[in-house]
Chain A
Amino acid sequence: MITRLLVANRAEIASRVFRTCRALGIETVAIHSDADTGLPYVGEADHAVHLPGTSPADTYLRADLVLEAARRTGADAIHPGYGFLSENAAFARAVTEAGLTWVGPAPESIEQMGSKIESKKLMEAAGVPVLTNHTVDTATEADLPLLVKASAGGGGRGMRVVRRLEDLSGEIDKAAAEAASAFGDGTVFVEPYVERGRHVEVQVLGHAGGVEVYGERDCSVQRRHQKVVEEAPAPRLPEATRAALHEAARQAAAAIDYRGAGTVEFLYDADADRFFFLEMNTRLQVEHPVTEEVFGVDLVAEQLAVAEGRVPSVAAGGPQGHAIEVRLYAEDPGAEYQPQSGLLTAFEVPDEPGVRVESGFASGSEVSTHYDAMLAKVIVHAPTREQAARQLAGVLRRSRLHGLVTNRDLLVEVLGHEAFVAGDLSTAFLGEQDLRSLQGAPVPGTAAQQAVSFFAAAMAWVSQVSAARPVQQRIPAGWRNVHSAPQVVSFDLAGTEVAVGWRHERSGAALVDLHGEVHGVRLVGAERDAAGWRVVVDHDGVRTSHEVRISGHRVDVDSPWGHLALTRVPRFVDPADVVASGSLLAPMPGTVVRVAVEPGASVEAGDTVLVLEAMKMQHTVSAPAAGTVTEINVRTGAQVAAGEVLAVVDTGDEEA
């Protein structure tokens, strides 16, 4: 029996495993890098061990440190989660050799399935359909397009699509180089690329009594070969094919006497209704919750049971309803999915029936770029696929995700997309569909809706400053007995300044659209609650509620139309902070006694630029910051007046 379990992983998956451990009465141990010290999972564990450093190579990939952490905390079992050491046979072996329980398959199984080339051969032998392997020599024009894959790979790295035969050799080299650097193994292989294939995978659980199959998942919606939306069961799959897939997966697991949770991945060619074995993942998958939801099973508990040598008490039944999971990433889909880092000022997903959130972060967490950009998984389980998609989109829309750009809008768009709703899926989905969220950072809503939301932001801001007034606190905001110009509150929206005009009116503050386009918008009320400001705005008789949170100059607006991340533009800027940064002025009238640098010279902060003599004292004029001297306006012996510009140092601020 396991009594104290260490999770050799981080963030959401650590939290996930801990939750089951708590339910089973097992003590928990977390490990964490420097960057992850403040994440929720560290606090949730009974014990935590710090692995100094931030890079995975220094921390989560250090088998020796993980084992040392287990020893120090007295852990008797290790769960590897996914990624990091989860498919490292040597580590699995080391864990067992250290006398600890390894929650995962035998090292041999990991090895057998770890090589995609070897596993394909194994499966082919077991009668499971596989894609033909090509080489530079065997491939012909007719085989195009081709896909170059890393044998040891995962997560899309080392994967390259080849559309012209002459590129193949070069792409193989590139993929090999990428694979070598990412996985320490440069072995790559080439197989046909199914353009509009679907990614369908089968969840298996091998145990002493055989192989349990917990249905399949569709994980076709991917970006850069990484899954974004996953669901169970797979939609639009003929029953015969479904059964054949399950059987193929069972054979795959049985072929290697697989123990524990594993996933057999297939490429499904919907047009031809054919599938091919891709690979088997010998660990818990990121998307395991959708299977858990529809089968009512706790796969982590089953993993632990198998690790403890037991067999599942109940056979997997049939799936109930439909579950969809989305991966919420801190990334900008409008900018090539660029990962984002920073302070997650708010992270709140509505906790409602049917909604499950697997999160590694909480409001106030710092998100670093050292690891995967996934913030959380949000899963909805509903009676039907349509209901699940609609509810999940609604949950995402109503989530509060502040501080970082996320892929939330993209997910909402996908879930509501005609093709997605129709179940018309393929791994090319994101590339093929014309998605607004992928075209720059769109501002949600129509022009009028945006005007309403900006107004709501301005009203929250004004209410906040009004509430802090030392005098006349309850005199209506912006009250005037003689009206002249509107009041203006300005925000920055992704580099664009948005000026909101408003004025006090007897029926409530009213928007004065400075472009004269939007009329009939007025404030119904602004109330402060625990979350921030609830601002209700009336536009032509329709009231819309906004939640506005203000933190320093940051203003986050959430409305039914979406989220706006605004920054308050200060009313005043001290010109000294803007202009004279590089100009060196004479502090008083005097004579230049020495010029220390030439124009064009590089200077460090504090370097002497020139020396003045005045009132029998020498005054050194030094560089305010590192930069290049672009101007020297005086010569030795020159008389200068106070305030005269003596020299200019370009500190490169303008370019920054």
Chain B
Amino acid sequence: MSANREAMLEKIASLDAEHAKAVEGGGERSVTRHHARGKLMPRERIELLVDEGSAFLELSPLAGWGSDFTVGASVVTGIGVVEGVECMITANDPSVKGGASNPWTVKKIFRASQIAQENGLPTISLVESGGADLPTQKEIFIPGGKLFRDITRASARKEPTIALVFGNSTAGGAYVPGMSDYTVMVKQQAKVFLGGPPLVKMATGEESDDESLGGAEMHARTSGLADYLAEDERDAIRIGRRIIARLNWRKARVSTSSTDGGGSTDGGGSTDGGGTSYAEPVADPEGLLDLIPGDLKEPFDPRDVIAHLCDGVSETNGQVFDEFKPLYGTSLVTGWARLHGRPIGILANAQGVLFSEEAQKATQFVQLANQTDTPLLFLHNTTGYMVGKDYEQGGIIKHGAMMINAISNSTVPHLTVVMGASYGAGNYGMNGRAFDPRFLFTWPSAKSAVMGPAQLAGVLSIVARAAAEGRGKDYDEEADAGMRAFIEASVEEQSLPHFLSGMLYDDGVIDPRDTRTVLGICLSVIDTSTFSGTDRFGVFRM
């Protein structure tokens, strides 16, 4: 086994362990108690909801990592296929503090609804939440309103919203079913009211009970808030699937249909459901593990990564990768390829550093993709824009700005994969989180920060030393060494994928071998709504 593979497998094992924590939810006892009441866990509900054998791309599974809250933030979000329709699915995890929302829960749901909005997906909410986590309510209450705003705005955009209510959905939470297009409530489980019996008693003195205030039967027969009354959880999911089946859903972009329906599970040239035919990559995705160095200082050729990710040669794909401007700005590789039959433009760092040439090349390439309505894939491994006198004088800022301008204003869908380093403005130029790519995934090998931990500590040391000298004081070398070590360690930790994923700075950390599948799903999802490239950019400084 190669050293690279060994290092990557170790990181993947650590990732799996963190995912397992999210799956575990509130822990065995809580899950057992939940099951004993005939209730399902959120992922069990999702497994029943999605089509048999279909994929489920879970999003932000590490949300809340490194915080005081359980990994996963007591909600599961992801994209699944229900009755042949790609849907955004969110499911509260009632085994974690009754499914109460904490600040990370809210951020995770916001991100899910942003993805649903950008891609025009229907949303199915599997609701069972005890409301807000009260100790952190100050971080939830006011921004949390956006949740309800998003549901009705989605409806206004004709993106269907469906709420399946399995349990508590009270107070503010009552507006999830309240704002949804379709609402299904589970008999004797769903509880949907603005105020429960104690609050009603305090407010008006009225004696009441849960069932009369917000039971599923009451809402189905009396208030009309429930459109369907489900016998049990499974039945609610069945009804939810029937609702989707009747949405008359049509994706905006359907590639020319092919009669080759496939059925073959090998790499033969079959189609991706109505798409054009394509071949599996020339290089086995498994080989990516050998390719990516354990030490980010070692460069690797992104063309190799492309060979592992993109479609192989077939009747409709004469070459795997048609590189653009191969002799110019060689530290950034640009070119055209296809992934699951869909055309993409790729920008991939080759040598880490971005120079003026690379920035100009990227700018032109982004414009070209916009001319032809071609989605862009960014493969990050950058240490940032080049610094130094010659480069500053050569206009590195204005050229970097051109690149960021192009990327910021580009209107074709962007997909970003952080493979390795993502430092400094390179993170921006390569379409980092702040630039709202449709999807952003990270490999376990990645690191993102304003600069490398050692460089950051070194810079702080130089600045401190200069300050000391300015004050005419001796510099405490021992304290400096301690400071540098501390800074380096904490920046190192904060630049690691788990940490950043916990902060919702990506949509998930993925096994590099899954990248092609993940991107294939994303590109299919993107086809749900229309898009076209722009011809309007900001003022380019020439």
* A interface with B by C-beta (< 8 Å): 461-485, 487, 489, 506, 525-528, 571-575, 579, 641-643
Tell me the bound Cα distance from A635 to B26 in angstroms.
51
Are B508 and A477 in contact, with the CB atoms below 8 A? no
Contact B58 A473 (CB under 8 A): no
Nearest neighbor of B238 in chain A, beta-carbon distance: A572
Chain B: which residue is nearest A478 at the CB level? B53
Q: Determine the distance from Cα of A481 to Cα of B439 in the docked complex, in whole angstroms.
A: 15
A465-B53, A483-B23 are contacts. A527–B508 as well, Cβ < 8 Å?
A: no
- B221 touches which of A485, A572, A642 (Cβ 8 Å): A642
CB atoms of A643 and B221 under 8 A apart: yes
Are A482 and B517 in contact (CB-based, < 8 A)?
A: no
Contact between A470 and B274, CB atoms less than 8 A apart: yes
Alpha-carbon separation in the docked complex, A635 to B217 (Å): 24
Residues of B with C-beta under 8 A to A475: 54-55, 272, 340, 517, 520-521, 524
Q: B residues 501-542 with Cβ under 8 Å of A?
A: 508, 510-511, 513-514, 517-518, 520-521, 524
Please determine whether B54 and A472 come into contact, CB atoms closer than 8 angstroms. yes
Given contacts A484-B44, A573-B238, 17 further A-B contacts (CB under 8 A): A467-B261, A468-B261, A471-B251, A472-B81, A473-B262, A473-B274, A475-B55, A475-B340, A478-B53, A481-B58, A481-B510, A481-B511, A525-B265, A528-B264, A571-B48, A572-B238, A643-B217
In the assembly, what is the distance between CA of A471 and CA of B524, in Å? Answer: 7
Most buried by A among B41, B52, B84, B514: B52
- The answer on a CB contact under 8 Å between A481 and B270 is no
B234 contacts chain A at the CB level, 8 A cutoff: yes
In the complex, A470 Cα to B82 Cα: how many Å?
11
Question: Are A472 and B520 within 8 A (Cβ)?
Answer: yes
Q: A47–B379 Cα gap in the complex (Å)?
A: 74
In the complex, chain A residues whose CB is within 8 Å of the CB of B48: 571
Please judge, given known A-B contacts A476-B517, A527-B263, whether A574 and B58 are in contact too, CB under 8 Å.
Answer: no
CB within 8 Å for A474 and B272 given contacts A465-B52, A467-B262: yes
Taking the nearest CB of chain B, how far is it from the CB of A83, in angstroms?
46
- Asked if B238 contacts A472 (CB within 8 A), the reply is no
Q: Which 3 A-B pairs have the closest CB atoms?
A: A473-B273, A528-B263, A572-B238
The residue in B53, B274, B508 that gathers the most chain A C-beta atoms within 10 A of its C-beta is: B53
**Residues in B neighbouring A463, C-beta threshold 8 A:** 53, 263, 265
Could you list some 30 contacts between A and B, CB below 8 A?
A: A465-B51, A469-B54, A470-B84, A471-B86, A471-B251, A471-B524, A472-B524, A473-B270, A473-B275, A474-B262, A474-B270, A474-B272, A474-B520, A475-B55, A475-B521, A478-B55, A479-B55, A480-B58, A481-B508, A481-B518, A482-B22, A482-B58, A482-B61, A484-B43, A485-B47, A506-B286, A525-B266, A528-B264, A572-B237, A574-B235
Contact call B286/A462, Cβ cutoff below 8 A: no
User: By the criterion CB–CB under 8 Å, are B47 and A472 in contact?
Assistant: no
Question: With a CB–CB cut-off of 8 A, which chain B residues contact A527?
Answer: 263-266
Collect the chain B residues with CB atoms within 8 Å of residue A472's CB.
Answer: 54-55, 81, 86, 272-273, 520-521, 524
CB distance from B70 to the nearest CB of A (A): 14
Known: A467-B262, A572-B241. A485 touches B43 (CB 8 A): yes
Measured in the bound complex, the distance between the Cα atoms of B231 and A475 in whole Å is 34
Could you say which residues of chain A place their CB within 8 Å of the CB of B353? Answer: none
What B residues does A462 contact at CB under 8 A?
52-53
B517 CB contacts on chain A under 8 angstroms: 475-476, 479
CA distance A463 to B265 in the complex (A): 8
Q: Could you mark each residue 29-59 of chain B with 1 if its beta carbon is under 8 Å from any beta carbon of chain A, else 0?
A: 0000000000001011001100111111110
User: Nearest Cβ distance between residue B163 and chain A, in whole angstroms?
Assistant: 19
Tell me if B465 counts as interface (CB < 8 A to partner A).
no
Report the minimal beta-carbon distance from A503 to chain B, rounded to whole angstroms: 11
Q: Which residues of B contact A470 (CB under 8 A)?
A: 84, 273-274
What is the CA–CA distance of A482 and B76 in the complex, to the nearest angstrom? Answer: 11
Q: Which of B23, B84, B231, B513 contacts A469 (CB 8 A)?
A: B84
Q: Give the complex CA separation of A489 and B47 in angstroms.
A: 12
Closest CB in chain A relative to B53 CB, distance in Å: 4
Shortest A450–chain B CB gap in Å is: 22
Task: List residues of chain B with CB within 8 A of the CB of A506.
Answer: 286, 513
Q: Return chain B residues, CB-CB under 8 Å to A525.
A: 265-266
* B278 (CB) vs chain A CBs: closest residue: A474
Task: Check B340–A474 contact: CB distance below 8 A.
Answer: yes
Out of A465, A474, A484, A575, name the residue touching B23 (CB < 8 Å).
Answer: A484
Cβ contact within 8 Å between A481 and B514: yes
C-alpha spacing A478/B524, complex, angstroms: 16
Interface residues of B in 1-49 (CB under 8 A from A): 19, 22-23, 41, 43-44, 47-48
Cβ of B422 under 8 Å from chain A:
no
Closest to B267 in A: A474
Contacts of B524 on A, CB cut-off 8 Å? Answer: 471-472, 475
Which residues from chain B contact A483 at a C-beta distance below 8 Å? Answer: 19, 23
**Closest Cβ of chain A: how far from B111's Cβ, in Å?**
16
Asked if B271 is an interface residue, CB under 8 A from chain A, the answer is yes
Closest to A570 in B: B238
Give the docked Cα–Cα distance between A475 and B265 (Å): 10
> Of all chain B residues, which has the CB nearest A477?
B53
The CB with the most chain A CB atoms within 10 A, among B55, B238, B275, is that of B55
- Across the interface, name the chain A residue whose C-beta is closest to B285: A506
Q: CB distance A469 to B81 under 8 Å?
A: yes
Q: How distant is A499 from chain B, measured CB to nearest CB, in Å?
A: 13
Tell me which residues across on chain A come within 8 A of B43, comparing CB atoms: 482, 484-485
Q: A481-B508, A527-B263, A572-B234 are in contact. Are A473 and B47 (CB under 8 A)?
A: no
CA distance A479 to B520 in the complex (A): 12
Considering the complex, give the chain A residue whose CB is closest to the CB of B187: A575
Cα distance A528–B47 when bound, in Å? 26
Contacts of A481 in B (CB 8 A): 57-58, 61, 508, 510-511, 514, 518
Contacts of B237 in A (CB 8 A): 572
CB of A451 to closest CB in B, whole Å: 19
Q: Which A residues touch B263, using CB under 8 A?
A: 463-464, 467, 527-528
Q: In the assembly, what is the distance between CA of A474 and CA of B521, in Å?
A: 10
Collect the chain A residues with CB atoms within 8 Å of residue B275's CB: 473
Chain B nearest CB from A43 CB (Å) reads 32
Shortest Cβ distance from B62 into A: residue: A482
Query: CA A187 – CA B46 in complex, angstroms?
Result: 73
- Give Cα A488–Cα B61 distance, bound, in whole angstroms: 23
- Residue pair A571, B52 in contact (C-beta under 8 Å): yes
Which residues in A have their C-beta under 8 angstroms from that of B272?
471-475
In the bound complex, CA of A479 to CA of B261 (Å): 20
Residues from chain B with a CB closer than 8 A to the CB of A485 are 43-44, 47
Considering the complex, give the chain B residue whose CB is closest to the CB of A486: B47
Most chain A beta-carbon neighbours within 10 Å: one of B241, B273, B513: B273
B478, chain A: closest CB distance, angstroms? 46
Q: Which residue of A lies closest to B235 (CB)?
A: A575
The residues of A that contact B217 with a CB separation of less than 8 Å are: 643
Minimum CB–CB distance from B524 to chain A (whole Å) comes to 5
Within 8 A of A (CB), among B236-270: 237-238, 241, 251, 261-266, 270
Q: Which residues of chain B have C-beta atoms less than 8 A from A484's C-beta?
A: 23, 41, 43-44, 47
- Min distance, Cβ B5 to any Cβ of chain A, angstroms: 13
Q: Could you tell me the distance in whole angstroms from the C-beta of A507 to the nearest C-beta in chain B?
A: 9
> A476 and B55: CB pair below 8 A?
yes
Q: Which residues of B contact A466 (CB under 8 A)?
A: 53-54
| Distance of A345 Cα from B272 Cα, bound (Å) | 32
CA distance A642 to B86 in the complex (A): 37
| Contact call B19/A482, Cβ cutoff below 8 A | yes
A526 touches B53 (CB 8 A): no
Nearest B residue to A533, CB-CB: B263
Of listed B51, B54, B231, residue having the most chain A CB within 10 A: B54
Chain B 487-503 against A: per-residue CB contact (8 Å), 1 yes, 0 no?
00000000000000000
Tell me the minimal C-beta distance from A644 to chain B in angstroms.
10
Residues of A within 8 A of B510 (CB): 481
Which chain B residues lie closer than 8 Å to A479 at the CB level? 55-56, 514, 517
Q: Determine the distance from Cα of A484 to Cα of B274 in the docked complex, in whole angstroms.
A: 30
Chain B contacts for A571, CB-based, 8 A:
48, 52
**Shortest beta-carbon distance from A409 to chain B in Å:** 31
